[in-house]
Amino acid sequence: MNYYTVDVLSPNEIIAKDIPCESLVIPTVRGQINVLPEHTHIITELDNGHMIVFGGADDPTRSFLITGGICKVLNDKVTILTTAGEEDRDIDLERAKLALENALEHLRKGDLSPDEFEKYERKVERARLRIQIAEEDIAGRS
């Protein structure tokens, strides 16, 4: 039995709409939270991380990379407004590995301003998350 639905939206696209859900794990700036049936209404800031939507017996579990944003839980609807996000099956593993190498190369140069250093650290974090989520997806399909 599904208790609520989840929308995952970014400024550029609708990543997923009306996903049936029994349980949801969300990366927030204060740590992961698990949204269960009859969860209190909340609005919380998202962190970069792995979001898992457990669909229950009738619907598959789905995984997403979330890059910051806001989560709103209200009644039987969860809305994820993320800066950028993608479902595990849509992650291009080779592209993620290249992005990681590129960001690490910039960090190795050492002649970055503090803002540039922070920018490339965030790129490294996102690339590592994308690689981890994509590899988990591949392993799960094997």
| Residue 52 sits in the same domain as residue 79 | yes
Rounded Cα gap, residues 36 and 26, in angstroms: 11
Contact 111, 95 (CB under 8 A): no
| Residue 69 sits in the same domain as residue 98 | no
Q: Could you report the per-residue pLDDT of 1-40, keeping only the tens digit for each?
A: 568 999 999 999 999 999 999 999 999 999 999 998 888 8
Cα R_g (the chain), whole angstroms: 16
Mean pLDDT of the chain: 91
Q: Determine the 3-state secondary structure of 48 from DSSP.
A: coil
Cβ atoms within 10 A of the Cβ of 35, count? 21
Of 42, 22, 24, the residue nearest 32 (C-alpha): 24
| Residue 84 sits in the same domain as residue 100 | no
pTM: 0.84
Q: Could you report the per-residue pLDDT of 56-80, keeping only the tens digit for each?
A: 778 889 999 999 999 999 988 999 9
| Residue 101 sits in the same domain as residue 120 | yes
Q: Could you report the per-residue pLDDT of 92-133, keeping only the tens digit for each?
A: 999 999 999 999 999 998 788 999 999 999 899 999 999 999
H or E element: which one contains 66?
Answer: strand 62-74
For residue 72, the enclosing domain spans 4-88
Cβ atoms within 10 A of the Cβ of 142, count? 5
Rounded Cα gap, residues 23 and 37, in angstroms: 7
Number of domains in the chain: 2
Of 95, 39, 36, 43, the residue nearest 65 (C-alpha): 95
| Residue 128 sits in the same domain as residue 74 | no
